[in-house]
Amino acid sequence: MRSDPGLRAAPRPPRALPPVPSAVQDDIPLSRPKKKKPRTKSTQASASSEGLTQTAVHRPSENSEPLTKEATEHPEASVQRRQKKTRLPLELETSLTHTKTSSPSLLPNENGINTEPDEEAVIQKPRRKTKKTRPAELQYANELGIEDDDIITDEQANPEQHSMFTAPTGTSQPVSKVFVEKSRRFQAANRSQLIKTTENIDVSMDMKPSWTTRHVALSVHRAFRMIGLFSHGLLAGCAVWNIVVIYVLAGDQLSNFSNLLQQYKTLAYPFQSLLYLLLALSTISAFDRIDFAKTSVAMQNFFALDPTALASFLHFTALILSLSQQMTSDRICLYTPPSVNGSLWAAGVEKQILQPWIVVNLVVTLLVALSWLFLSYRPGMDLSEELMFSSDVAEYPEQDKGIKVCS
């Protein structure tokens, strides 16, 4: 505790000395205790760290020795002293206002014995500084690309000043927070986080064009076109099979209607349902191909006898015809011989009902088979895709090329 007054009073002497620039050698020891005295505070605060300081002792001693040499060899050092003197009062006012000013005891500084414990004490502050500040400095320097010289060289160039006053090093650090404008307000944000987030955004921006909603829409459209293509063939096949079965069951010259009804009644409704499902799918697919929603284009293609446009028309006609037979199909499904009470099939009515039904089925089959032929003539044609996404070509030239290559 004895060192306290000495330590705290130490900064004062420079005030008395300014008018003597020639006493360079006297000043040197003066300057040394200045470094050490603030550090003795730290030793008192943490007296247990004596053993730890051995390695760090070199630093202040290394720093101090060249200083003396400089001071002796280069008289320019006196200029630095002057600068120091000018700085001192300001900083002392801030940092040492509460210290008791005692007589300027320069003696302990000049004594080599007294300085040794001070040197031990000196060690701690620089070490703390390095511990606290350097990792942060390096981090910022790495992340923000600030050159090391900008921050660290100040310390190394003026070791005397930094060893004495911590404030300048503190203020020269890059501020850890930056203020970013978010929703018309400036908000504090961490630099490192901000940099990371911006990097992430860059990455995501790079990733976005690879798979957009447009690509999802296109893939779905193409998947449905594939389903449609399949259903066209299946529908044509089913329709042909159906008409063959009907004609086989009806016998020669369509004479055996009762046999047809008895055999076919279980098949009538399932086939009607399947026919509607396939016809619906095929019609939607055919409309897709000619882009039916754009009526003018669709009509133009139809009058130009475009096979795809004709096929979609044939499909739609087949659909109407098929639906119109729903009542007859239900009647066939509920078939009971005319002899049974409550039968829907009176004697002699069979031919009247069944003949048009067979004809309609035949027509449906022909239409479906024809449209399948027309569609298979140009299976790759898809006006929807061309017209729906055509104007994107200008906006997405590269992507479109890629897609076309894929397709």
Contact set with other proteins (CB under 8 A): 211-217, 220-221, 224, 269-270, 272-274, 276-277, 279-281, 283-284, 287-288, 292-293, 319-320, 323-324, 326-327, 330-331, 334, 344, 384, 388-389, 391-392, 395
Looking at the Cβ atoms of 144 and 277, the one nearer to other proteins is: 277
CB of 355 to other proteins, least distance (A): 19
CB of 318 to other proteins, least distance (A): 11
Looking at the Cβ atoms of 77 and 319, the one nearer to other proteins is: 319
- Among residues 120, 119, 117, 130, which one has the least CA distance to residue 156? 130
CB of 268 to other proteins, least distance (A): 11
The token duo for 54 is 């051995």
Looking at the Cβ atoms of 165 and 335, the one nearer to other proteins is: 335
CB of 362 to other proteins, least distance (A): 20
The token duo for 279 is 């016809």
Q: Buried b / exposed e across 363-399, counting CB within 10 Å, b at 16+? A: ebbebbbbbbebbeeeeebbbbbeebbeeeeeebeeb
Q: Buried b / exposed e across 63-97, counting CB within 10 Å, b at 16+? A: bbeebeeebeeeeebbebbeebeeebeebbeeebe
d(CA 39, CA 43): 7
- Among residues 325, 294, 320, 319, which one has the least CA distance to residue 387? 294
- Among residues 140, 129, 135, 130, which one has the least CA distance to residue 176? 140
Looking at the Cβ atoms of 47 and 394, the one nearer to other proteins is: 394
CB of 325 to other proteins, least distance (A): 10
- Among residues 31, 45, 63, which one has the least CA distance to residue 3? 45
CB of 326 to other proteins, least distance (A): 6
**DSSP at 101:** P
Looking at the Cβ atoms of 345 and 372, the one nearer to other proteins is: 345
- Among residues 120, 103, 144, 114, which one has the least CA distance to residue 47? 120
d(CA 170, CA 167): 5
CB of 245 to other proteins, least distance (A): 18
Looking at the Cβ atoms of 175 and 327, the one nearer to other proteins is: 327
Residue 181's DSSP bridge partners are: 186
Looking at the Cβ atoms of 83 and 352, the one nearer to other proteins is: 352
Looking at the Cβ atoms of 144 and 220, the one nearer to other proteins is: 220
- Name the helix (H) or strand (E) containing 182: strand 177-182
CB of 171 to other proteins, least distance (A): 44
Q: Could you tell me which residues come within 8 angstroms of residue 364 by beta carbon, excluding any fewer than 6 positions away? A: 239, 275, 318, 321, 322
Looking at the Cβ atoms of 249 and 274, the one nearer to other proteins is: 274
d(CA 30, CA 359): 122
The token duo for 352 is 């009247």
CB of 219 to other proteins, least distance (A): 10
